[in-house]
A and B are shown apart, each in its own frame.
Chain A
């Protein structure tokens, strides 16, 4: 098995450039969950030149909406949603200082260009492994847009959150490089 690289949030260019497509990472620190509806609101604020409700500089956005936590659990089941739906909003957020994204699935050319330009990074978490991933969430709180229910913005304190580097800061894309090796 491959070695797992431990990283902590917030991220900066120095940490990010060391990571390469295909690296297994365990992430520790705060990460922020936001999905479709929250992205739409972020985007509208940026368009109007207004401030976001949270400072996302150097932070990681996790495309996800958890199930409600069972009593005694810090968080419900939580795994990645499909990232492409956030693509129209992503370059703006990367320009604004977001450094990492955790999701699943393909990204647009514009997003990958923006990842390169802004020295950012895109991680995949394993879709449908939500009960397992939830074990790494130690603390969870809604910090914006509570009215959106499961689509609200959550701050999670995670310890050893399992992810894989899919698009690194040089723009290498595991979804393009790995499958051809197994194509027949």
Chain B
């Protein structure tokens, strides 16, 4: 067994949330520059230039890319040969989030009770934590500060197996169409197909942060990603929703085996920043 102190997890989570809020991943920077070349609308080009410049300022000055520094989503893969010592796993993660948001001057956007009190917890906790147990003696972290402009535009449908590819394409494209300018296009669209209603959304969320435009390994799903992206960009919504041929930068599909009677389809929409950071202990 390899011993890992929970304070190490706190430090790693803190480091990753600061990084994710200040630095855009290089693959996304490249994609945005390509989008600027591909965009035909003068307003769209202007918007993309502002986004690119914004990302440069954020990383240069270590200030948040966006004022919505998000709800803290954390995916953890814990190696089964790891022995966690000196603390509580969930508390250690929340402590890391709290320190990042306080010391990094990030906005605290969490309310305790979603309906009645809606009182700000002032720490940006609790985080949303997904834990998987995997072989090995390492702990892998993926953090995503998820803004709610795009989260609010996300949808799920329990399609019939007979709806097939066409049903999926129509549902995803319709979701993006309805969202219009709201989720800060050009967006990245995470699609989760199969599993259960809940699991479909979890894999959709994780699919957002796949290396941009790296197609699904299954060529049929890769073709579906391509077709959906083309149809989305034919909507004309454009950067910031002000018209143009670049509405989404990528469509990433992930899928799971599912029940004979169903075909869950989850669409998790993400803004052009797609903030995330990964680390290993």
Contacts and interface: CB of A to CB of B under 8 A. Distances in A.
Majority SS of interface residues in chain B?
loop
A48 B223 CA distance: 58
Given A127-B271, A149-B120, A178 B235 contact: no
A105 B51 CA distance: 17
A127 B184 CA distance: 5
B63 A73 contact: yes
A51 B29 CA distance: 48
B29 to A, nearest CB: 14
A104 B64 contact: no
A35 B184 CA distance: 17
Of B47, B105, B238, most buried by chain A (CB within 10 Å of CB) is: B105
B120 A77 contact: no
Contacts of A151: 120
Contact of A106 (B120, B182, B184): B182
A182 B41 contact: yes
Chain A interface extent, by class = 35 or more
Contacts of B61: 131
Contacts of A182: 40-41, 44, 236, 238, 243-245
A128 interface: yes
Residue of A81, A134, A166, A178 ringed by the most chain B CB atoms within 10 A: A178
B18 interface: no
B271 A67 contact: no
B63 A149 contact: no
A109 B3 CA distance: 60
A106 B43 contact: no
Contacts of B237: 179
A178 B180 contact: no
A179 B182 contact: no
A183 B46 CA distance: 19
Interface string B57-86: 110010111111100000000000000000
Nearest to B107: A67
B54 A131 contact: yes
Given A1-B42, A66-B107, A179-B243, A81 B182 contact: no
A67 B236 contact: no
Contacts of A104: 149, 181-182, 184, 240-241
A69 to B, nearest CB: 7
Contacts of B57: 131-132, 135
Interface of B: 40-44, 46-47, 50-51, 53-55, 57-58, 61, 63-69, 105-109, 118, 120, 122, 147, 149, 152, 180-182, 184, 234-238, 240-245, 271-273
5 contacts: A37-B118, A82-B152, A127-B149, A150-B107, A181-B236
